[in-house]
Amino acid sequence: MIRLKITGMTCQHCAQTVKEALESVEGVKRAVVYFPQGYAEVEQEEEINVETLIEAVKKAGYGAELMGTSPEVYVPEKDVYDLFVLGGGSAGFASAIRASDLGAKVLVVENRVIGGTCLNRGCIPSKYLIEVAEVYSIPKRNPFRGITLRQDRLSVEEISEFKESMVKELRKEKYLDVLKAYPNIHYLEGRGTFLREGKAEVEGREITFHKAVVTTGSRPKIPPIKGLESINYLTSDEILSIDYLPKHLLILGGGAIGLELGQVFLRLGSEVTLIEALPDILMNEEPELRERLRKVLGDEGMKILTGTKVIEVRRNREHLELLIEKDGRTSILRGTDLLVATGRTPNTEDIGLENVGVETDPSGFIKTNEYMQTTNPNIYAAGDCVGRMMLVTVAAMEGTISAENALLGNRIRMDYRSVPRAVFTDPELASVGLKEEEARESFEVEVRTLEFSKVPRAVISGRTEGVIKMVVEKESSRVLGVHVLGRHGAEIIHRAVPIVKFGLTLRDVIDMVDVYPTFSEAVKLCAQSFYKDVSKLSCCAQ
């Protein structure tokens, strides 16, 4: 059999044309052309000169070359799963789809609900509740004169019911229906465990695999606080499905999850107190932005205690009591419900990683190289269980890269430098690229911040509480990082992603023409502020 790499095919009709061209060559018994994978297999009745086959393909309008020992496409083995994917969330399905596109036979195993954290217990339900809370709270925050709005009815039970129906529909549309479109992907519900090299067990059934990708995700991390195990606390898993409104919600953790959900319940009518052990909220973000966000949330009514340690938790009749320590002094904090939002821990125990030589770090995250390859060269890992950037978009990209590298050899590296992130509070905090402190470790930099009061659309909308910060390499004027706190900050940051990714300069940014008036114009205005006082510019002036 002769295998040829085929180039120039764009559809199944192209594949049929190549097939006919190959079968027209004397001595060819049969030709099979794999369009998605980009190669052809030719069975011979008699010995054929490869150049004759290549010439026939070229005459048909396509390119061809003999496939080498390191093929550009993956040729699946028979009687085994070419790729075993342990985990059925975004990283797992991205792996499976890419592998299927390469012609591989794939098995995806999930021991919980298909769709993973983002769909079922994360991004989708939480952002729905954020939207609900924002709409409900508008009458209290209405910035416009001449109109009066009022809050009427709030049914947390109905909100929860609709949220569940929406998640169920998306689960069907984005996962179950997707499986129907990929016959090469097999799906099993149950617990998967690695047994030994090339072998795994799924609910008592032994399966054989050629390569594997671990995408088992993460779960809420529970801190070792005295008394915590004896009360009915909530995590981000449970609180997204409660059908009542907490009277006084206590939140442990000042990261994205605690802040987002804290503002949701604050706007729906709960009293909210947030406790963070570190000196400030969102310690991995720029200080100017987190300081401003803290003020906005405080003005809205959220009580935020930073540098505060929780020593013990206990229940006293209808109240929860937290024994807290701040600045060496202890006190009692009372509330009705407790949300634990102190980070995430990987789901990597009890899946047999030790049986196949896959190592984890002290926190349980799987060790991978830049190709997403683990310490076992035949096993890759992606998503939260790796712990690089715990974002659904990153998980999907890591999953895609893992599958391709597993099947074709290590060719693609994961690049995190231009990955944007966002905290969906209101205002939203979003970032891409280097922070000022990080940039100063390698570059001489210049920094500017611009108030949203200088952004016309923000003024029109009555949303001037934001600020944007830009970090620039001084010598080249190359933009190294952009950080936004403002209305639609998670949308604005996409304006900055290609600027950072492709190393554009301040002049490149200024020379672009923006739509006016928009919130994203803040990026250009901030770039202009390196050269001019933007308060003295007319609208849209360069």
Of the CA atoms within 13 Å of residue 530, those in its CB half-sphere come to 22
Chain Cα centroid distance, residue 98: 17
Q: Where in the chain is the domain with CATH 3.50.50.60?
A: 81-220+346-408, 228-342
The answer to whether 292 and 423 have CB atoms below 8 angstroms apart is no
Is residue 540 part of the annotated active site? The answer reads: yes
Q: What is the pLDDT along the chain (542 residues), one digit of tens a residue?
A: 898 989 888 777 888 999 999 999 999 999 988 876 778 889 988 889 999 999 999 999 999 999 865 455 555 555 689 999 999 999 999 999 999 998 899 999 999 999 999 988 899 999 999 999 999 999 988 889 899 998 888 999 999 999 999 999 999 998 998 888 898 999 999 999 999 999 999 989 999 999 999 999 999 999 999 999 999 999 999 999 999 999 999 999 999 999 999 999 999 999 999 999 999 999 999 999 999 999 999 999 999 999 999 999 999 888 999 999 999 999 999 999 999 999 999 999 999 999 999 999 999 999 999 999 999 999 999 999 999 999 999 999 999 999 999 999 999 999 999 999 999 999 999 999 999 999 999 999 999 999 999 999 999 999 999 999 999 999 999 999 999 999 999 999 999 999 999 999 999 999 999 999 999 999 999 999 999 999 888 887 77
Active-site annotation holder among 1, 34, 62, 136: 62
Active-site annotation holder among 34, 74, 118, 385: 118
In whole angstroms, give the CA distance from residue 344 to residue 19. Answer: 51
- What are the tokens at 538? 């007319």
Q: Which residues contact 396 (CB under 8 A, 6 or more apart)?
A: 90, 91, 93, 94
Active-site annotation holder among 9, 302, 385, 470: 9
Amino acid letter for position 55: E
Is residue 385 part of the annotated active site? The answer reads: no
Active-site annotation holder among 166, 283, 512, 540: 540
The answer to whether 382 and 95 have CB atoms below 8 angstroms apart is yes
ω before 427 within 30° of 0 (cis)? yes
CATH hierarchy code of domain 228-342:
3.50.50.60
Is residue 531 part of the annotated active site? The answer reads: no
Is residue 14 part of the annotated active site? The answer reads: yes
The answer to whether 84 and 112 have CB atoms below 8 angstroms apart is no
Return the sign of the alpha-carbon dihedral for residues 80, 86, 88, 92: negative
Q: Are strands 106-110 and 81-86 parallel, antiparallel or unpaired?
A: parallel
Q: Where in the chain is the domain with CATH 3.30.70.100?
A: 2-66
The CA–CA distances, whole Å, from 71 to 3, 77, 365, 400, 407 equal 10, 14, 32, 18, 10
Phi first, then psi: what are they for 111, rounded to 5°? -95, -5
Closest CA to 125 of 239, 45, 207: 239
Q: Find out if CATH 3.30.70.100 is the number for domain 2-66.
A: yes
Of the CA atoms within 13 Å of residue 87, those in its CB half-sphere come to 30
CATH hierarchy code of domain 421-536:
3.30.390.30
Highest CATH level, class, for 81-220+346-408: alpha beta
pLDDT value at residue 536: 84
